[in-house]
Chains A and B, each alone.
Chain A
Amino acid sequence: MKNAKVLIRNLTKTYEPAPLWSRFLVRTSSKEPIHALTDISFDVNSGEICVIVGPNGAGKSTLFRILTGLITPTSGYATIEGFDVTQESFHTRSTIGFMPADDRSLWLRLTCAENLAFHGRLQSIPEKQLEKRIREYLALVDLEHATHRVGFALSAGMRARLQLARALIHRPTVLILDEPTGTIDPVGAYQLLQLLQKIVKEEEIAVLISSHRLEEIESLDDNVALLDKGRLVHWGDLASLRRIWTVPRIDASFDSATAAEAALATLALSTDCSSQQSAPDTLTVTTKVSVGALLHLLHDHQSHITSIQESQMSLRELINQKLQAAEIERQETHL
């Protein structure tokens, strides 16, 4: 059995309204408690990538801030390599590699090499190894040519790669990446993720990564923690989510709009599927019956069918469906 590198148990965070004295220091608008995380539990093992997905305000950043020691949880706990992230934050901070969402976290007046050297020294990398490591990790993220270029002169994609190098240079066993591809173009994002997957395989590290990009979530194809309003609404691989939620969809095209309408009328009599006219000559049928069974239902219209194909529910729809179901469940619980 694999050791859980990151273990999260019943993690809850409620932001209380700011007391009156602190409102004098800085303006705040919160008057009610905000439940940022409620009873979150999951593990991430070595060699695994866990993608944290959720809409804005789902609790992703709060979760990452707790893991990096910047916020203390209201209840529950989390450990990294067995160290409590709240009580032993100093130890966990030497174990993790963190890439914040904001590329301003780099010292933009410093060169790539200087940025890595500063971080390396804070991470206690011996001076004798530091120069070699800087070269090694700049090469890894394909920034060798920019070794002496200052942060301001780097493109968004290069800054993201430099941040990744910084997160890796001290050879952490757990990587926490907060929207690492948020500021970069799709091609750059794809390359960064390819690189990340390679590193995970080679180094056997555990990775927590938050993302808004559905194609990324799909391409990483590992565990997904789906958060919504601070709650974990799904934990597991994408396939398991699909197994539960996917209703196969069949698109059938006809040689005319009249034929499509006639087929729609026939399908309306069936209780096994629900159909709609997605174009004048096309029907979209959501059904758990097979394509063969559907063709049987459409026996009288078969000569008018020009094409028929089954497609999987898109991840966007899948997640949306899961979130809607979670919302309904939450409302029912309140009632």
Chain B
Amino acid sequence: MTSPRIPVLSSAHRIFVLSRAFLRIGIIEVISYPMGFVTNQLASFGTIVLFYFVSGFVDKGGAFSGDAGAKVGYDYFTFVAIGYASVRFLAAGLKDLSIQFQNAIQAGYFEMLLVEPIHWHFLPVGLVQWPTLQAASMGTLTFALSITMGASYAFSGIPSAILLLALGVLATLAIGILASSIKILSKRSDPIATIYQMAATTFGAVVVPVEHFPEQVRWISYLLPHTYTISGLRRVLMPQGDQLTGPTVSESIFALTAFCLILYPIAFWMFGRSLSYARKAGLLGGY
């Protein structure tokens, strides 16, 4: 009997080869639609310009002084720019992964990917690589643009910021994988990603501090990796970040690590269960 070549995923080389293959596909997809790429970048710049004007408008009422000002580090534009740029980074694991799955399913190559000799658990990781890089570039550009518009950052906090962002992206990717496990069965609807995104946009401390929310709903904020990533980033990147309320840097790092440790086993278990059910019910083909 001929023994087949069995690719060993555990080997670092194999992971490198697979990652590179998916990365190339992502780049080719993007350069296939250059106008789409450029307009996506411009759209995020439009939002930061909007926040620039909103912060100027709010400050006219003297909102950046006293207790209210302390909550936003006396600089609402920098405060909200960090919130918005972080959202761009964190979108990769959640929204962009969902879009990648949707595209693969609708374009028709998802089934072929499942027939390739790769561990199915690697698929969400492979598919999200390029969107993560793209999101990181957009987030960084958003930060850069905000500097030109007057935002001020403590550059000494960049190493901690990178760590917080990496943990934040990892934690939201776990939620993205959890969401994908539903998407495999539901095909188009994406309840987990949609609900999470709604909660993160509203309660994730993107435009207002967590303390601004009524106490009865504040617990929602503390269930979201967004809150810890954004709060931690503000503390390390804002010049008066140490005066901010909300989770501290160490609390944020701890919470995000805990999210990863808890969510990844659940996400991969769910993904496996979902694939197993889809194989039994015949849902992997035909969409």
Set of chain A residues within 8 Å of B195, measured between Cβ atoms: none
For the complex, is B284 an interface residue (Cβ under 8 Å from A)?
yes
For the complex, is B185 an interface residue (Cβ under 8 Å from A)?
yes
**Contact yes or no, A94 B115, CB < 8 A:** no
Q: How far is the CB of B160 from chain A (nearest CB, A)?
A: 36
**Interface 1/0s, chain B 91-118, versus A by CB < 8 A?**
0000000000000000111011011111
Set of chain B residues within 8 Å of A118, measured between Cβ atoms: 21, 24-25
Considering the complex, which residues of chain A in the window 13-47 have a beta carbon less than 8 Å from any beta carbon of chain B?
13, 15-16, 18, 22, 25-26, 36
Considering the complex, which residues of chain B in the window 133-192 have a beta carbon less than 8 Å from any beta carbon of chain A?
182, 185-189
Query: Given A26-B187, A104-B109, A110-B28, are A91 and B6 neighbors across the interface (CB < 8 Å)?
Result: yes
**Contact yes or no, B279 A121, CB < 8 A:** no
A22–B2 Cα gap in the complex (Å)? 41
Residue of A36, A95, A107 ringed by the most chain B CB atoms within 10 A: A107
Set of chain A residues within 8 Å of B10, measured between Cβ atoms: none
**Contact yes or no, A15 B115, CB < 8 A:** no
For the complex, is A82 an interface residue (Cβ under 8 Å from B)?
yes
Query: Given A25-B189, A102-B108, are A71 and B18 neighbors across the interface (CB < 8 Å)?
Result: no
**Contact yes or no, B119 A70, CB < 8 A:** no
**Contact yes or no, B114 A70, CB < 8 A:** yes
Query: Given A25-B186, A26-B186, A100-B112, are A114 and B28 neighbors across the interface (CB < 8 Å)?
Result: yes
Nearest A-chain residue to B21, judged by Cβ: A121
**Contact yes or no, B111 A70, CB < 8 A:** yes
A59–B203 Cα gap in the complex (Å)? 50
**Contact yes or no, A107 B118, CB < 8 A:** no
A83–B3 Cα gap in the complex (Å)? 10
**Interface 1/0s, chain B 22-58, versus A by CB < 8 A?**
0011001100100000000000000000000000000
Set of chain B residues within 8 Å of A65, measured between Cβ atoms: 282, 284-285
For the complex, is A240 an interface residue (Cβ under 8 Å from B)?
no
Set of chain B residues within 8 Å of A82, measured between Cβ atoms: 1
Set of chain A residues within 8 Å of B189, measured between Cβ atoms: 25-26
Query: Given A82-B1, A94-B7, are A107 and B279 neighbors across the interface (CB < 8 Å)?
Result: no
**Contact yes or no, A95 B107, CB < 8 A:** no
Q: How far is the CB of A110 from chain B (nearest CB, A)?
A: 6
A93–B5 Cα gap in the complex (Å)? 10
**Contact yes or no, B185 A22, CB < 8 A:** yes
**Contact yes or no, A122 B116, CB < 8 A:** yes
Considering the complex, which residues of chain A in the window 89-116 have a beta carbon less than 8 Å from any beta carbon of chain B?
90-96, 98, 100, 102, 104-110, 114
Q: How far is the CB of B21 from chain A (nearest CB, A)?
A: 4
A114–B186 Cα gap in the complex (Å)? 31
For the complex, is A123 an interface residue (Cβ under 8 Å from B)?
yes
For the complex, is B20 an interface residue (Cβ under 8 Å from A)?
yes
Nearest B-chain residue to A61, judged by Cβ: B285
Partner of B117, one of A15, A26, A70, A123: A123
Q: How far is the CB of B185 from chain A (nearest CB, A)?
A: 5
Considering the complex, which residues of chain A in the window 116-157 have a beta carbon less than 8 Å from any beta carbon of chain B?
117-119, 121-124, 127, 150
For the complex, is B61 an interface residue (Cβ under 8 Å from A)?
no
A238–B108 Cα gap in the complex (Å)? 35
Q: How far is the CB of A95 from chain B (nearest CB, A)?
A: 4
A106–B282 Cα gap in the complex (Å)? 22
Residue of B1, B20, B112 ringed by the most chain A CB atoms within 10 A: B112
Set of chain A residues within 8 Å of B5, measured between Cβ atoms: 94, 124, 170
**Contact yes or no, B117 A124, CB < 8 A:** yes
Q: How far is the CB of A46 from chain B (nearest CB, A)?
A: 9
**Contact yes or no, B116 A123, CB < 8 A:** yes
Set of chain B residues within 8 Å of A36, measured between Cβ atoms: 282
For the complex, is A261 an interface residue (Cβ under 8 Å from B)?
no
Q: How far is the CB of B266 from chain A (nearest CB, A)?
A: 19
A71–B14 Cα gap in the complex (Å)? 26
For the complex, is A81 an interface residue (Cβ under 8 Å from B)?
yes
For the complex, is A211 an interface residue (Cβ under 8 Å from B)?
no
For the complex, is B262 an interface residue (Cβ under 8 Å from A)?
no
Set of chain A residues within 8 Å of B187, measured between Cβ atoms: 25-26
Name 25 interchain pairs, CB-CB below 8 A, sorted by A: A15-B281, A15-B282, A22-B185, A25-B182, A25-B187, A26-B185, A69-B279, A70-B279, A70-B285, A71-B280, A81-B2, A90-B6, A93-B117, A94-B4, A94-B7, A96-B115, A107-B28, A107-B107, A109-B28, A114-B24, A121-B18, A124-B5, A124-B117, A127-B17, A173-B4
Closest 8 CB pairs of A and B: A104-B108, A94-B117, A25-B186, A121-B21, A105-B112, A95-B4, A124-B7, A109-B32
